[in-house]
Amino acid sequence: MKKVSRAIIIFILASLTTFLFSACNQKLTKNAENLNELSRPVNCRIIQHLAGETCVPQNPQRIIALHIATLGNLVALGVKPIGSATGYQKSDFPKYFEGKIDGIQSVGDVTQPNLEKILQLKPDLIINLSDDISIYPLLSKIAPTVQTGWEGPRQWKEHFNFVIKVLGRENASQQAWNHYYHRIRELKAALGDRYQNKKVSYVYVEDSNRPIFISELKNVFAGSILNDVGLQRTELQDVITPYGYIFIPEEELSKIDGDVIFIGFDGDDEGKTFNKLKQKPLWNTLKAVQQNHVYIINLSTWRESNLLAADAVIDDLYKYLVKTP
C-alpha cells in the first residue's frame, strides 16, 4: 500500500513539475517576444522580403545598394546612397552614372561585396538584389537589410517597385514614371512616321571569344523600351518568351538583320570584336550593313535594368534614330 502511495506522490510531483515548467517556458517565450517588439526601432516599417522580414527605418539616410539596378533606381528617385556595388566583375560604375554619383563609395562588385567596407560606412539600410541569401545573416548584423530575388532584366520594373516599397516613396515613384513616359512620348513625336515600316534588331555579343549573338525580346529591359516607343522588331525578335532571350549562332548571322541593327559588346575590346565581326562573309550581305544603319551601343547601358539606364537608352535612340541622317 505504501509503495502504491509513494508511486502516486511521485506521479503527482512529476506532473506538477511539468506543468510549472511549461507555464514558465510559455511566460519566458512571451517575454522574449515582447522584448523583441520593444527592441525594434519605433520609427520603422516591417518589410517582407526574400530572406524574411526587416524593420526598415522610416527615413534612411545612409543606404547601401548592392546592385547597379538598385543604384540606378535610387538615383532616379532622387535618393543618393552612401555606397554601392559596381557591376558584375567590374571595378568602375557605368558611364551613364557620370556626374550623378559623386561621393558614392564602391563596396566591391556585385558578386563580392566588401563587408569590411560596408561596416566602416555605418549604413542604416542595405538593399541587396540577389537570389543567394547566404550573405544575408552577415549583412543583417551590420544594418537592417532587405533582399529580393533577381531573374534578370525582364524584372526591371518589379525591382523598381520593390525599392519604392522599401523606401515608402510612392509620390517619387509616380514622378519617376511620369518622366519616363514623357520622354517616350517626346521620342515618338520626334521619330514621326519615318520608322513606321522599318524593323529594328537589337543583339549583343557577351563573349568575344564565343561569337553567339543574344537578342533580348519585347519583355526584357531594352526590348520593352523599344516596344514602348513603338519601334517594330524583326519577326524573330517580335515575341515574348519566359526568359526573354533568343540565341543566334554565328552561322545564322543573317537572322540578326533588320532595317536597323543595334549591337552591343561587353568589355573594353568592343572595337576589336566588331572588327572581327565585319570580317565574316555574311556580314556585308546584311541590309542594315549595306544601308549603314548598324549602331554600336554600350551593353552595360542597355542591360542595366533601371530607370536611370532607361533614360540613357532613350538618349541613344535620339542619337541614332533622330539626329543621325
CATH code of the domain containing 69: 3.40.50.1980
Report the number of distinct structural domains present in the chain.
2
Residue 2 resides in a domain: no
pTM of the entire structure?
A: 0.82
CA 123 to chain CA centroid, nearest Å = 20
Question: Pick from 168, 203, 231: which residue ends a domain?
Answer: 168
Residue holding cell 543595334? 262
Residue 176 resides in a domain: no
Q: Name the most confidently modeled range: 41-45, 162-166, 269-273.
A: 162-166
Q: Length of the chain in residues, anyone?
A: 325
Strand partners, 205: 265
Residue 265 resides in a domain: yes
Residue type, 187: L
Q: How confident is the model at residue 2 (pLDDT cuts 50, 70, 90)?
A: very low
Q: How confident is the model at residue 42 (pLDDT cuts 50, 70, 90)?
A: low
Same structural domain, 305 and 226: yes
Q: How confident is the model at residue 209 (pLDDT cuts 50, 70, 90)?
A: low
Same structural domain, 147 and 221: no
Same structural domain, 80 and 163: yes
Q: Which three cell numbers stand for residue 121?
A: 560606412
Residue 131 resides in a domain: yes
Nearest CA to 78 among 186, 155, 182, 175?
A: 175
pLDDT in the model for residue 325:
60
Domain range holding 59?
Answer: 44-168
Residue 317 resides in a domain: yes
Same structural domain, 152 and 264: no
DSSP 3-state of 199 = strand
| Residue pLDDT, tens place only, 244-275 | 889 998 888 899 999 999 999 876 556 777 88
Region 107-122: what's the mean pLDDT?
Answer: 94
Q: Which three cell numbers stand for residue 156?
A: 526591371
Region 113-134: what's the mean pLDDT?
Answer: 95
